[in-house]
Chains A and B, each alone.
Chain A
Amino acid sequence: MIKQISTLTKLQLKNLYGINVFRFSTDKSEKKKKLALAATYLFLILLFASYIGGMTYGYIFIGLEEMIPAYLIMLSSIIILFFSIFKAGAVIFQKNAYDILASLPVRQTAIVVSRFIRMYVENLLIALIAMLPSMVVYGIFMHPKASFYLIGILVTLFIPLIPITIATFAGALITAITSRMKHKSLVSVVLSMLLFLGIMLGISQMSAMEESFSIDMLQDLSKTALRIIQSIYPPAIWLGTAMLTGDFLLCIACISGSLLIFALVITVVSANFHWICRGLYRTGAKHNYKLKHLKKSSVLGTLYHRERKRYFSSSVYVINTMIGPIMAVLFSISVLTIGIQPIQTALGFPVDLTVVAPFLLAGIFCIMPTTCTSISMEGKEWWIVKSLPLRTKDVLDSKILLNLTIIAPFFIASELLFVCAIKPDFAELLWLIAIPVLLILFVCVFGITVNLKLPRFDWENEVTVVKQSASSFIGGFLGFVVALLCMVPCILVPAKYTTLTKLLLCFLIALITLYLYHRNNKTNLQEL
């Protein structure tokens, strides 16, 4: 059993981050590309590590050192949970290897555990980036005992276990429920979104409840913070306390508890593994089709129709790209129901929210456009587009069009809610529409640019493209960053120049979008 787990895990890890391709590929340019990508990731890791180190110093400086370990354990656990919850089902029950593994004398538990370990390795990086720099800074300024470091390292290694177990259980449950349904992709999307919203709501309610409890919270900020963490994620407090007090027993008790939960979940998932896989990969074939009238469409129309079918056939793709629009609508609902002033206070915003609202709204819509992975999503079927008499422009336009039509209903709802909430005058209304429209157009086109530069067709699981590819990382968040950066000059310039600044920004965004659009359309798809 251990040997099987080890063999299958090695197989999983060889495929991760394209390590095997890098080792054995004879294509030097491909290797160079991978090295450049690794250097970019390393730079981002260093950036994040510096941020964590700085934050730790800040907390020590204001006397909140007591909450640092618990806070970072909670933070990394929540990040890991969000990173794994939407892909756990796809990773555990990945289709491509099922036929091969099902015919081999391999235990179901070994398959499930190996896939779990793959997710663990991926997420351990998050725990390491969050915990190690913080421990170093804490060590320099607070001079803790050796047990702090020992328990700290042990805790760091076990941080991903609980969130991944929860994600695996949720993913398996959703997959099991939907596996025998006709519209499994759609139901899976709805259930995953409900789960996501439920967790978000739960976290916000718990923290809000704690805040209302402590009127005199400023008198003891550290205790208040710990109470909030306790209500959101109790294991963070237990593990954090174990680190600070050097309590090995508490640490081992926590780790044993999480291992026990993990073993339970693995047992349940393993027992139902084949049943779920069979349901998932069963294909209903009726064999009663009768030829009907076939309607002719334009080339762009038929490409768009194909894009739409492709998009809704992948629950991972839909979930990943729907988060932005759904969050934008939720943001607009909260502005309407709670009012703009309390939100401004809660966010700690130093300026009038109505001035920056168009950028904020646009920024949320710009998270994860479908275009930044839409070329990679063609995968092994990319030969069809390449061998057909299709113009690059039509192929790319259909991808942009899909992104726009997906965002459109959410955008209209968001705008209507926002208008009802802030009751803008004509000029404000114009900005509220023009700025998000331009930024959304920019991000759709930019997504294509990034994916044309960093395409990936050799994937076996959609998760690799949608969540782990360089283009999803760069194209997925850069739009948000650009929207926030556009906000800065509007805040900094005197009020009388705000309109002019917005006008210049719009002109600049439109210009860049047009330039990228024309450049993209000149691409020779054969070279990809």
Chain B
Amino acid sequence: MLKIKNLTKHYKGSNKGITDINLTIDAGDIYAFIGHNGAGKTTTLKCVVGIHDFEQGEIQINGISMKENPLLCKQQFAYIPDNPDLYEYLTGIQYLNFIADVFEVSESEREARIETYANAFGITEALGNLISSYSHGMKQKLAIISALVHQPKLLILDEPFVGLDPEAAVILKNIMRDICKAGGAIFFSTHVLDVAEKLCNKVAIIKDGVLIKTGKMEELVQQDTSLEDIFMEVLCNDKAD
């Protein structure tokens, strides 16, 4: 579904960035991407979704190159950033309709999906208000609905649980599972290791722009250990080296 090969991106005039990232996310995967602040999680995700250009490497979505055919690639996924800066001058429903127009979703389909997800997240009655009046959590919910309105095969999420109330977090986890069951895939960054351990079948740990560990969750996390232990061990070992 998503193949990241030798991805390298460094910010101009700075040492920060990511180096030689290799990852493969298959259909049915819920893939957690973890690392400390500034490790390169957001940079990787932004390169994948086309917000950042990159110097080296290749990103393929369902075999299509992001560099060669970005429009076709972008039609297949949805992205939610860590800070949902949405168009504050639009109302919630105008924003959702805008996204549906961009993905050319039919009128009946967009109406049905918006109704389903807006009701699930409990923001239907606020959809007529300007986004500028929304709280952080409401913006996050709107961003999630907008990502689901065109039923993408691949969801790329940056810290999706930040700002969500517990009920919304459960709903999102269920949606993520449903997408995977239907043959889709999820690639998301998080600091909540507990959620990652319970929800994901695969995990990648990044440190200072370099992938330290990748693999299946069940292989990495053995009995009597947790993802938190693995994460701390990896970081400590790296520091000792």
The reply to whether the CB of A526 lies closer than 8 angstroms to some CB of chain B is yes
One of B28-36, B48-56, B177-185, B221-229 at the interface: B48-56
43-97 of chain B: CB within 8 A of chain A: 46, 49-53, 70-75, 79, 81, 85-90, 92-94, 97
CB distance from B13 to the nearest CB of A (A): 4
| B53 & A389 in contact (Cβ 8 Å cutoff) | no
Q: Can you give 18 A-B contacts (C-beta < 8 A)? A: A30-B12, A283-B130, A283-B132, A284-B129, A284-B133, A289-B126, A289-B127, A294-B93, A296-B105, A296-B106, A299-B101, A302-B97, A306-B87, A309-B87, A309-B94, A388-B74, A389-B75, A390-B71
| A384 & B86 in contact (Cβ 8 Å cutoff) | yes
One of B110-118, B166-174, B186-194, B196-204 at the interface: B110-118
The reply to whether the CB of A380 lies closer than 8 angstroms to some CB of chain B is yes
Which single residue of chain A is at the shortest CB-CB distance from B89? A313
| B129 & A291 in contact (Cβ 8 Å cutoff) | no
One of A21-29, A45-53, A252-260 at the interface: A21-29
How many Cβ-Cβ contacts under 8 Å join chain A to chain B? 128
Please report the C-alpha to C-alpha distance between residue A301 and residue B101 in the assembled complex, in whole angstroms: 9
The reply to whether the CB of A183 lies closer than 8 angstroms to some CB of chain B is no
CB distance from B213 to the nearest CB of A (A): 28
Binding site of A, secondary structure by majority: helix, strand, loop or mixed? loop
The reply to whether the CB of A287 lies closer than 8 angstroms to some CB of chain B is yes
On whether A298 and B101 interact (CB within 8 A), knowing A27-B14, A313-B89, A384-B86, the answer reads: yes
Residue among B51, B94, B99 with most chain A CB within 10 A = B51
Determine the chain B residues whose CB is within 8 A of the CB of A386 once the complex forms.
49-51
| A295 & B107 in contact (Cβ 8 Å cutoff) | yes
Interface residues on A, range: 35 or more
Candidates B70, B73, B81, B97; contact of A294 at CB < 8 Å: B97
| A30 & B13 in contact (Cβ 8 Å cutoff) | yes
The reply to whether the CB of B103 lies closer than 8 angstroms to some CB of chain A is yes
Supply 7 further A-B pairs (C-beta < 8 A) apart from A27-B11, A296-B107, A387-B79.
Answer: A290-B124, A291-B111, A291-B127, A299-B102, A380-B85, A386-B51, A389-B70
On whether A299 and B74 interact (CB within 8 A), knowing A283-B129, A283-B130, the answer reads: no
Determine the chain B residues whose CB is within 8 A of the CB of A390 once the complex forms.
71, 102
Candidates B49, B92, B93, B129; contact of A286 at CB < 8 Å: B129
Which single residue of chain B is at the shortest CB-CB distance from A525? B50
| B71 & A389 in contact (Cβ 8 Å cutoff) | yes
Determine the chain A residues whose CB is within 8 A of the CB of B79 once the complex forms.
387
Determine the chain B residues whose CB is within 8 A of the CB of A388 once the complex forms.
74, 99, 102
The reply to whether the CB of A519 lies closer than 8 angstroms to some CB of chain B is no
